[in-house]
Amino acid sequence: MGKQAHFYMEREIFVELAKSAVEMGCVILKQNGSKIVSSTDTSIITAGCSQYYFYLPEAGELNEKLPLGCYNANGNVVIEASYTTKSENTALRRARLYVISGYTGEDGSFVEHPECMSALYKKLVTRMKKLTMHVAVPADKISTRLNYYADPTDRSHKIYITDKLYRQLQKPGCILG
């Protein structure tokens, strides 16, 4: 459980979003096997990895022994963030910002995430919206593997997407995955 915002954004624009997170006091993390790699700048963001975490130290300590992106103590102090990648069939994979609402502690009680994480999440979503356009996309541009999206009518779906990816989406054969 938590909140998530989906969007389509290339790495270069995602770096701008990550810079905003750093300016708000975050450290950028990525999982490398069982090791957590951290950086106080955007140099950590590379083409070889599209999954990152914005860690807010004021929200609590990070446990290096626990994985990121799980419903655990680490999940309470990070926001999962990613950028759009392309699959082999030219589908643009959606990215997201995701914050958990909390996790179940060892004693079985629910531990809510700190309020500062909600505030950070809202600021990052606002920044994401400024970096993208909110446009309608025809249902036939959405992957058919998601049956509830690919209906035969003339419906459209509103998405957040950067200008560059929107132009790419206009090309024949390019869909959203």
**Do 146 and 118 fall into the same domain?**
no
Q: Cβ distance 92 to 168 under 8 Å?
A: yes
pLDDT in tens, the chain (177 residues): 789 999 999 999 999 999 999 999 999 999 888 889 999 999 999 998 999 999 999 999 998 888 888 888 888 999 999 999 988 777 899 999 999 998 898 899 999 999 999 999 999 999 999 999 999 988 778 765 554 544 556 677 899 999 999 999 998 888 888
**Do 77 and 150 fall into the same domain?**
no
Check residue 163 and report its DSSP letter: H
**Do 48 and 98 fall into the same domain?**
yes
Which residues partner with 97 through β-bridges? Answer: 5, 81
Residue with tokens 């979003």: 17
**Do 114 and 47 fall into the same domain?**
yes
Q: What angle do CA 21, 120, 118 make, to 5 degrees?
A: 155
**Do 108 and 152 fall into the same domain?**
no
Count of domains forming the chain: 2
**Do 111 and 61 fall into the same domain?**
yes
**Do 71 and 144 fall into the same domain?**
no
**Do 25 and 58 fall into the same domain?**
yes
**Do 126 and 172 fall into the same domain?**
no
Backbone angles phi, psi at 139, to 5 degrees: -60, -30
| pLDDT reported for residue 1 | 73
Domain boundary among 96, 114, 131: 131
What's the token pair of residue 42?
A: 């955007």
Q: Give per-residue burial for 19-54: e unless 16+ CB within 10 Å, then b.
A: ebbeeeebbbbbeeeeebeeeeebebbeeeebbbbb
| pLDDT reported for residue 90 | 75
Strands 110-112 and 27-32, sheet pairing? unpaired
| pLDDT reported for residue 7 | 97
**Do 7 and 70 fall into the same domain?**
yes
| pLDDT reported for residue 17 | 98
| pLDDT reported for residue 168 | 92
**Do 18 and 100 fall into the same domain?**
yes
Domain range enclosing 158: 134-176
**Do 29 and 86 fall into the same domain?**
yes
Q: Cβ distance 30 to 53 under 8 Å?
A: yes
Considering the entire predicted model, what is its pTM? 0.90
| pLDDT reported for residue 155 | 73
